[in-house]
Chains A and B, each alone.
Chain A
Amino acid sequence: MTERLAVRKTYKLWIGGAFVRSESGRYDEADGVNFPRASRKDVRDAVAAARQAATPWAARTAYNRGQILYRAAEALESRAATMGVPRDEVEAAVDVLLHYAGWTDKLHAVLGGVNPVAAPFLSFSLPEPTGVAGIVAPDAPPLLGLVAELAPTLAAGNVAVAILSETDPLPGLDLAEALGVSDVPAGVVNLLSGRRQELATALGAHRDLNAIVDAAGDPSLATELDKLAAETIKRVRHDDPASTYEDATDDALDRLEAVTELKTAWHPVGA
C-alpha cells in the first residue's frame, strides 16, 4: 500500500466569520507553514465587521453570552490535540474561558447597583460594554495569552479584533477554527496574523475602535498606542509584560473593567 500524502491546512485570517487570505496577498512563514500577513486594509475590514457585530452581541442576554463562551470552551477542549501548543496550555485556556463564561451575568452585581439618591428617583448604575476592542496579543504563550485577553473582552459584552502572536501565530489561527465551530457569532471575534508593529498601529489609529488591550510587552509600541488612542479618547489597558498567564484570572475584574462603561439611569418615582 502506498504511503498516504497528508492534506495540509491553508492557514487563513478570520474576519467577519469568514476564513480569508490577506487582501494584500502577502504571506509569511512559520515552522515551514505559510500563513497570511495581514495588511492595514485587513485591519479596517476587521474593525468594520466587528462594529456590525457589536450591537447584536451586546443585546444578547448575559445568560446566552455565557453559554456561548462555555460552548467555545467545549470546542477548544475537544481540539486540544490539534492546537499546536502543549496540552497544559490548552487546558489553562479552556479554564480561562470557563471562568469568564460565568462572569457575563455577575458583572452587574459586582460593578453596578441602585444608587440611594437624595431625591425621588430610582437611580441605578449598570455596566455596559465599551464596544469594539482591539487586542494586541503577547508573543507567548501564543494560545493562552490570546484567550486570556479575549475572554474578558467578550464576557463584558464587547467584540474584538485581535492581532496574534507575531512569533507563533498558528495556535491563534487554529483557535479561529475552534471558535468557528462553536456558537460565537460572525464578527464578534476577528483574528489577524502578521507584523505586529504594522497591524497594531493601524488598529490603534482606527477611529471606530473604542478600546485597546495591549499585551505585547513592548514599551515603545505601548507609548505609540497611547498616543494614537488619545486621538479619539480610547480606553487603554497595558498588560504586565512579565505576565506568564499562570494566574490569568486573578485580575479578572481589572480586565473586565478595562472594557466596561458604567451607565447611570434616573427614572422618576411617584405619580
Chain B
Amino acid sequence: MTPSVETRTSIVWDYAPAPESADHIRLKDRYGLFIDGDFKDPADRRYVPTINPATEEPIAEVAYGGPVDVTAAVQSARAAHPKWAALRDLERAKYLFRIARLIQERARELAVVETIDGGKPLRESRDVDIPLAAAHFFYYAGWADKLVYGFPTHPAREVRPLGVVGQIVPWNFPLLMAAWKLAPALACGNVAILKPAETTPLTALLLAEICQEAELPPGVVTILPGDGSTGASLVRAPGIDKVAFTGSTAVGRDIQAALAGRDTRLTLELGGKSANIVFEDAALDQAVEGIVNGIFFNQGHVCCAGSRLLIQESVRDEVIAKLWQRMRRLRVGDPLDKNTDVGAINSAEQLSRIEALVAAGEDEGATRRSIECELPERGYWFAPTLFTDVSPAHRIAVEEIFGPVVSVLTFRTQAEAIEKANNSRYGLAAGIWTDKGSKAFEVASALKAGVVWQNTYNHFDPTAAFGGYKESGFGREGGPAGLRPYLEIVT
C-alpha cells in the first residue's frame, strides 16, 4: 500500500523570515498626473493616498485626474501624434528598446513598489510581473519596423496607426498590464493615455519617470491616475480613437455601451471563471501544483485564474486530499517576504467582495475549508479556501470571485468535462491535466476559451496571444495579433 499523503508530508519545515529590503526605494511623497512629459497638478488639486494593503499604511499621495485633466491629456497626446507616427520606424523601436532596458535596470525597485502598492508576493512581482513587462516592450519594439511583414498587404494596402488610444488597466498586474497596453500601441505609431488602477498607480508613475529617462517625446505617453470616473471621462473623451480596457465584465459592458454609435475602436479583456480539468490519467502531484498555481497565484486576483476545478470522479478524493495537504503548506503573509506564497488582498473593497461570495457559497450548501494560518492583524487578508459539494448553479461556480477560492466540481466522461467547462458566460482560459497527448489536443480544441494550458497553468509570453471568448471580451494582446487592434489597414 502506498503511504498516505499525510505520512509523506508530515515533516514541516518552517522558514525564517526573509524580507526583501525596501531601503533602496525612493518614492516621492506625492505624484502628479504625467501629461506632456511632466508631472502636473490636477486641475482640482485632488490628491489621494495610495495604501499598502498589507499594512493599511499610506505610501504616497497620488493625483486624481478629472474631466479637465482628461481634456488636457487628449490635447497633448493629439499634438504629439503626428511627429511620433512620422518618426522613422527603427527610431520608434529604439525608444521602446530603451524603455525595456530601463525596466530591467530598475527591476528590483519596480518589484518592491509593485508589492507594497498591490500586496502581491515579491516572488511574483520579481519573477513574473517585472521581467514580463520588460519582455513585452522588447518584443513589440522589434515589431515597430516590421509591421508590413505582420499583415498580409496588397500593393494598395498599407498599415497606419489609429492616433490617440485610451487605455485602462486593472490592479492585479499593474506594470505588466501597462506594458501589454503601451508597447504594441506605441510600436504601431500611436500615442497613448494610460489610466492605472485606483489602488495601484505607483509602478505606472515610475514608468512615467522611465519614459522621461528614455527621452520619449512629451505627449507620446500620458499617465493619468484616478478612479472609475477618470476612466469614464477618458473613454468618452472626443479625440480618442481607440479604447483598450482590462477589468471586470460589468465595466467592460458599460464602456461598450458608452461607445455605441461612435467611431472609436474597442478591445476588452474582461473577467473569467476558467475551468481547470483534471483527468484520471494525469500525473496527480504535478496537477496539484498546477491547481495551486492556477488559483492561488497572485491571491487569485487573476482574470484567467483556474477557479473552477473539474476533477474526474475516479480521482476526486485523491486529488482533493493532495490539494488540501498542499494548500495547508501555503505561506500567507508579508508580501515582501521572499518565501511568501499568498500575499495581501488588494483592497478592503475586494476583500468584502470575496467574503460576500464565500458566504454565498456556504449559504447555498457547498462545503467550505479554509486553511488555518496566522494572518497579520492589520491589512487585508483571506486564507486560501477550497469549496467542495459545489453544484454548477452555485454562485461560487458561476461568478468570478477574484480571490484565493477554488470551487470543485466533478465529471465522469470527457464529454461531460467539456460541457461543464463550456457552461459559462465567460471563456477566457482553461487548463487540462492528462498524460494523453491526443486527448489533450481534442479537449483543447473543444473548449471555448482563448487560452488553453495543458499540464501547466498561468504561463504568459509576449509572443503568444491572450484574450477571451464570449463575455470575457474581444481582441487579443500579445503576439502579432496584439498589433492588430492598434492599426488600421487602408486600401
Chain A interface residues toward B at CB < 8 A: 110-111, 113, 115-119, 121, 123, 125, 128, 130-131, 210, 219-220, 222-224, 226-227, 229-233, 235, 250-251, 253-254, 257, 261-268
Contacts and interface: CB of A to CB of B under 8 A. Distances in A.
Interface in B443-466: 444-445, 448-456, 459, 461, 463-466
Contact of B455 (A119, A231, A268): A268
A41 B135 CA distance: 52
Contacts of B466: 264
Nearest to A254: B489
A232 B425 contact: yes
A262 B481 contact: yes
10 residue pairs, one from A and one from B, having the closest CB atoms: A223-B261, A226-B260, A230-B256, A230-B257, A117-B461, A115-B464, A227-B260, A115-B463, A233-B471, A125-B465
Contact of A266 (B425, B451, B472): B451
B465 A267 contact: no
A231 B249 CA distance: 10
Contact residues of A: prevailing secondary structure = mixed
Contacts of A220: 261
B196 interface: no
Nearest to A207: B425
Interface in B392-412: none
A100 B261 CA distance: 29
A201 to B, nearest CB: 13
A123 B491 contact: no
Contact of B450 (A131, A233, A263): A263
Contact of A117 (B425, B444, B463, B473): B463
B449 A117 contact: no
Nearest to A55: B446
A108 to B, nearest CB: 12
B253 A265 contact: no
A113 B456 contact: no
A129 B440 CA distance: 20
Contact of A119 (B461, B473, B479): B461
A224 B261 CA distance: 8
Given A110-B152, A233-B470, A233-B471, A266 B456 contact: yes
Contacts of A257: 484
B337 to A, nearest CB: 26
A220 to B, nearest CB: 8
A267 to B, nearest CB: 5
Contacts of B97: none
Nearest to A232: B471
A95 B473 CA distance: 34
B486 interface: no
B416 to A, nearest CB: 15
B474 interface: yes
A229 B461 contact: no
A225 to B, nearest CB: 8
B452 A231 contact: no
Contacts of A210: 470
Contacts of B491: 250-251
Nearest to A124: B464
Given A125-B476, A125-B479, 13 more contacts: A111-B481, A113-B480, A119-B459, A121-B459, A230-B257, A233-B252, A233-B256, A233-B474, A250-B154, A263-B451, A264-B450, A266-B451, A266-B456
B244 interface: no
A263 B452 CA distance: 8
B469 interface: yes
B464 A123 contact: yes
Given A117-B464, A119-B461, A223 B260 contact: yes
8 contacts: A115-B464, A117-B461, A224-B260, A251-B491, A262-B450, A262-B465, A266-B452, A266-B459
A250 B135 CA distance: 35
B132 to A, nearest CB: 10
B373 interface: no
Contacts of B484: 257
Contacts of A223: 260-261
Contacts of A266: 451-454, 456, 459, 464
B344 interface: no
Contacts of B471: 232-233
A128 to B, nearest CB: 8
Interface string B268-282: 101000000000000
A226 B253 contact: no
Contacts of B454: 265-268
Given A115-B464, A117-B461, A265 B452 contact: yes
Contacts of B472: 233
Contacts of A115: 461, 463-465, 479
Contact of A264 (B257, B437, B465, B470): B465
Interface in B14-35: none
B467 interface: yes
Max count, chain B CB within 10 A of own CB: residue among A115, A229, A264 = A264
Interface string B415-454: 0000000000100000000000100110011001111111
Contacts of A251: 489, 491
Contacts of A254: 489
A262 B467 contact: yes
B152 A264 contact: no
B457 to A, nearest CB: 9
A193 to B, nearest CB: 26
Contact of A226 (B261, B456, B459): B261
B259 interface: yes
Nearest to B488: A254
A222 B476 CA distance: 24
Nearest to A110: B152
Contact of B152 (A227, A253, A263): A253
A261 B466 CA distance: 11
B305 to A, nearest CB: 16
A162 B445 CA distance: 27
A251 B156 CA distance: 11
A232 to B, nearest CB: 6
A223 B262 CA distance: 8
A264 B152 CA distance: 21
A226 B263 CA distance: 11
Contacts of B456: 121, 266, 268
A222 B474 contact: no
Contacts of B425: 232
B235 to A, nearest CB: 12
B387 to A, nearest CB: 27
Contacts of A125: 464-465, 476, 479, 481
Contact of A219 (B249, B261, B441, B476): B261
A227 B257 contact: yes
A218 to B, nearest CB: 11
